[in-house]
Every structure is written in structure tokens, then in C-alpha cells.
Amino acid sequence: MKIAIIAAMSKELALLLPLIDAPSVVTANGITFNRGNIGRHEVIASECGIGKVNAAIGTLTLIECFHPDIIINTGVAGGTGNGASILDVIIADRIAYHDVWCGPGTVAGQAAGCPAYFECPLPVSFFEGMDIRRGLVASGDIFVSRREEVDRILSVCPGAIAVDMESAAIAHVCHAKSVPFVCIRVISDTPGSTDNIAQYENFWNDAPAHTFATLKTLINRL
């Protein structure tokens, strides 16, 4: 199986690259892709950049150049206080935009021509025995740092367990191109807490053991 892995930032990609055996570098559309193997699978890993537009460009380039069988987005997310704590690994069962509204007669969070939620294609049984949280991830072009922002997001995406800036855009492109998509995130901070920024900065010391072991398990099960 050919698996594509997209990270948003260089810090995230740097944590991922040590998992890849015999890596080589390919450049397409100005984006660097790292090719190699994890176990029996061919893997293409890239950094898309922060935000929805960068994520969409990176995803479309990846699909058109490499034709992956599945795309995995891995990285960090902010918690909303709905059951996911710092360093918890989450796998989205649904993904939605928190900053999209297409006007009267449409549902907030739903892009035109798309379902209300982009859903994980893997069955619940696939994740048995994995130390993860599952739930709704909400995406938008804002670094969420205040509790008021979280509350607004939850009014659009009730029950969301995490927020990020790329997942919905990647899911949107994958939906348009009929490529299965899985979102894995590790909670880096809790927006609105008094030490939110310190949480985010200290998180990078402990993240690898919590998220990339899960990623490797997921890949080995595919």
C-alpha cells in the first residue's frame, strides 16, 4: 500500500522522518516530499505548511503526483475540554470546518457541495487496543488561544474534542478526489488555560512517544 503522510509544520515532520527507512527526497510544485518505507508500505511524507490553503495545495499536489491509496494527517491540536487532555492522541471520527458558512439554507461548518462532516473511512474495530481518543475535530484559520474562541467553535461544532488549522481542508480535497483520509493528532495545549502558551512550548519535549508510536501501529495495521 502507498501511504501519504502530511504534517503541518517542520517540527511535526522532524518527529516523523526517523520512522521512515531508506528515505529519498523528491520535489514537486515547490514542495519537498520524503519517500521511503515503514514496514511493508511505501510512504511519502511532506510538510504542507500551516492553514487551510497550504494544506489544500499540499494535499492536491501529493495526490496528483504520487496517487496514494490513503492519506494520513499527523500533528498537533488544541483541546476543547471535551474529554481529550494534553498528550492524548486522538483519531478523528469526523472533521468539520468551524469557520465556514455558505449562507441561508446551509449548515454552519459545511462547505458547499460537501457533507456536513468528513468521516473517517476505517471501522471502529480497526482501532481496538489502541490508546487513543476518538471524536470530532474542528478546523479553521485561527490559532485558538482563548476560551471565548473555543466556546464559539463549540457553538458551530458541538462536541468537538480538538481544534486545528488543516484537517478539514485536507479532508475536503481527499473527499473531492475520492482518497481515504485519516486524521491523527496529539493534544498540545488547552486554549484558555492560564499557562496555555507554556503548555504548547513544553509539549514538544514529550510528544514523540505519545503520537508516533500510534502512527506506526496504525500504518502496520493497514
What the chain holds in terms of domains, given with CATH numbers, is 2-212 (3.40.50.1580)
Active-site residue, selected from the candidate residues 12, 88, 93, 164: 12
Identify whether the C-beta of residue 136 lies closer than 8 Å to the C-beta of residue 92: yes
88 is an active site residue: no
Q: Is the pLDDT reported for residue 202 higher than 70?
A: no
The pTM assigned to this predicted structure is: 0.92
CA gap 23, 38 in Å, rounded:
10
Active-site residue, selected from the candidate residues 166, 189, 201, 206: 189
Q: What are the residue ranges of helices labelled H in the chain?
A: 10-16, 52-66, 147-156, 167-177, 196-203, 207-221
Q: Is the pLDDT reported for residue 85 higher than 60?
A: yes
Confidence of residue 16 (pLDDT cuts 50, 70, 90): confident
* 209 contacts: CB under 8 Å, gap ≥ 6: none
Q: Is the pLDDT reported for residue 32 higher than 80?
A: yes
Identify whether the C-beta of residue 152 lies closer than 8 Å to the C-beta of residue 171: no
